[in-house]
Amino acid sequence: MANSQAFIQFYDEPMWESIRAQRWALQQCDDCSQYQYPPGPCCPHCLSLSMSWKPLSGKGKIISWVVFHRQYFDNYKPPYNVVAVQLTEGPLVISNLVGPEPEGGWIGREVTICYEPNAEQGSIPKVMLSEPPAA
Amino acid sequence: MTTGNLSKVGAVIGVGQSDYVSDHARVRAGEKPHDSYGYAAIAFREALADAGLTRDDIDGLIVGPTVAYERVGEVLGINPRWGSQADAMLAVIEACAAIKAGLCETVALVYGNDQRSAAVQYGGPEAMGGNLFLSYVYHAPWGYTSQGALYAMMFRRFMEVTGITEAELGEVAVAQRLAASLTPHALMRKPITLQDYLDSRYIVEPLHLFDYCLINDGGVALIVTSAEKAKRIAKKPPAVIHGVGRFDLNRGATSLEPRLLDFYRPAQEACAKQVFDMSGLGPQDMDAVQIYDSFSCHVPFALEGYGYCRSGEAGRFMREDGISLKGKLPVNTAGGHLSETYMQGWNHQVEAVRQVRGECGARQVEDCRFVHYNSDVAGKAVSIIYGR
């Protein structure tokens, strides 16, 4: 086994730079204003080649979630959760919910992006509940 | 939109497979009986014999994605006048298209895979497939890996949206194990109960161990020829291809949008319209269904997407109407990827042919006229209808 590795291709590099700076940014199309994830060479909505990197608002909601009970990576010991989050900007991203877990259902809960140290990339974006249950 | 008519152009006249049970036992004991080419060769010899043909009758060759085209042709000594490489379902469609175009008349479709003895990894640091499907590797920084995890995420949301329960999903594993128990060449033949399913451990929750396919070595081959030639030469009743369909969802694939927001439904609906329009048949005409089941949840997604039940009703349909050999709609009648063998859709084509021929013994669906195969691997929906 080994640690998990980021799969960084040509267009991903600026995104990981923004994550290291703890200001996760995605490409927004200059022509149709749509965001895309993962990063790419053109806007998949209108094929424009003109895009700008924009920091995310950091807000989204949980679309779905799973719990790993099998170990695939040295740096992820089960059980651990993975969540799919729809960002306010539109795209879905994958992350882990850290901090308090929701009482009742997870789907539809509002979350906020936070950052955790990461040995490989320096920093990695995670999410936490925007309104955690009262302790 | 026209669909192009491939109805009754081609027919399967021969099927073959390696000895899954014996090879699996040997691999588990640490042996390596064959490599992918060896399994392919064994299956091809069987398919030729089943068709009553010799190698010289073959003028087209399609090989599966796990082997090299030229090397398979070299190993089998085939110099075809037309050739290609494709997965199981697209291989059948391509064969029909090539026959229709007059590029060849009798096509060998050959697949071999030594995935178990070669320790192919479907998750973790060495996960396969990232060159073809970015979603298989892109989310690794968050510990999110394995195709099972992609389907677990999809099924969790499906539970939320439709109310389907884990126990209802368990109907798939239980029904397919019953089918496998009646299939001599199936790998997992000991029947299980719904309680066994619920008691089994989670791999990626909400999916249990029994929701995951097997990983085993093997090979499969099919001989497809023109329907007209099939009538003249076939030793056994030909399995005529009555219709095919395909629709792909690529937009948003890596961020999982078509999976999590639509459950691939738009692709299945477009594919269903093609295959049913082309064949002049509908879900009510199907006597059995084969569904690509790398994970059990493919089944409820397909039942709704192809119109076997209403949207949101797959859980109730599986529990009340039933998808086992004793139910209203037998699904994966030899046990599928969960319990028969994981030949990546190739074994489903073989089972569809055998059901149409009526040679399935204890698991034979009575008066089986039409079998619908479908898959939605990574949002690529493909359908084929086999019939008499």
pLDDT digits (tens, 9 = 90+) for A1-58: 899 989 999 999 999 999 999 999 999 999 999 999 999 999 999 999 999 999 999 9
Structure tokens at A46: 């209108």
Does residue B178 lie within any of the structural domains? no
Does residue B2 lie within any of the structural domains? no
Cβ neighbours of B319 (radius 10 Å): 17
Q: Locate tokens 């490489």: which residue? A: B85
A85 touches chain B (CB under 8 A): no
Does residue B380 lie within any of the structural domains? yes
| CA pair distance B381, B347, nearest whole angstrom | 18
| Structural domain spans, chain A | 10-129
The pLDDT, as a whole number, for residue A135 is 65
Reply yes or no on whether the pLDDT at B3 is more than 60: no
Is the ipTM beyond the 0.90 threshold? yes
pLDDT-derived band of residue B2, with 50, 70 and 90 as boundaries? very low
Q: Determine the 3-state secondary structure of A81 from DSSP.
A: strand
Q: Which of B124, B156, B205 sits opposite A72 (nearest CB)?
A: B124
CB B318 within 8 A of CB B308: no
CATH code matching the domain that covers A10-129, chosen among 2.40.50.840, 3.20.20.30, 1.10.3720.10, 3.50.50.60: 2.40.50.840
- For the full predicted model, state whether its pTM sits above 0.95: yes
Does residue B200 lie within any of the structural domains? no
Domain that holds residue B37: 10-118+214-387
- Please give the tally of structural domains in chain B: 1
Does residue B58 lie within any of the structural domains? yes
Does residue B269 lie within any of the structural domains? yes
Q: Count CA atoms within 13 Å of residue B376 on its CB side.
A: 30
Reply yes or no on whether the pLDDT at B61 is more than 50: yes
Does residue B372 lie within any of the structural domains? yes
From chain A residues 18-37, the ones with a CB under 8 A of any chain B CB are: 37
Which CATH number is B14's domain given?
Answer: 3.40.47.10
List pLDDT tens digits, range B286-340.
Answer: 999 999 999 999 999 999 999 999 999 999 999 999 999 999 999 999 999 999 9
Which residues lie below 8 Å from residue B291, measured CB to CB, with a gap of 6+? B298, B299, B302, B331, B332, B336, B348, B373, B374, B375
B200 touches chain A (CB under 8 A): no
Q: Which of B143, B201, B261 sits opposite A68 (nearest CB)?
A: B143
Which residues lie below 8 Å from residue A20, measured CB to CB, with a gap of 6+? A121, A122, A123
Which residues lie below 8 Å from residue B126, measured CB to CB, with a gap of 6+? none
Does residue B261 lie within any of the structural domains? yes
List pLDDT tens digits, range B173-195.
Answer: 999 999 999 999 999 999 999 99
| pLDDT (average), residues B200-213 | 98
A41 touches chain B (CB under 8 A): no
Which residues lie below 8 Å from residue A49, measured CB to CB, with a gap of 6+? A41, A42, A43
| pLDDT (average), residues A57-67 | 98
The pLDDT, as a whole number, for residue B1 is 44
Measured between beta carbons, which residues in chain B are less than 8 angstroms from residue A79?
205
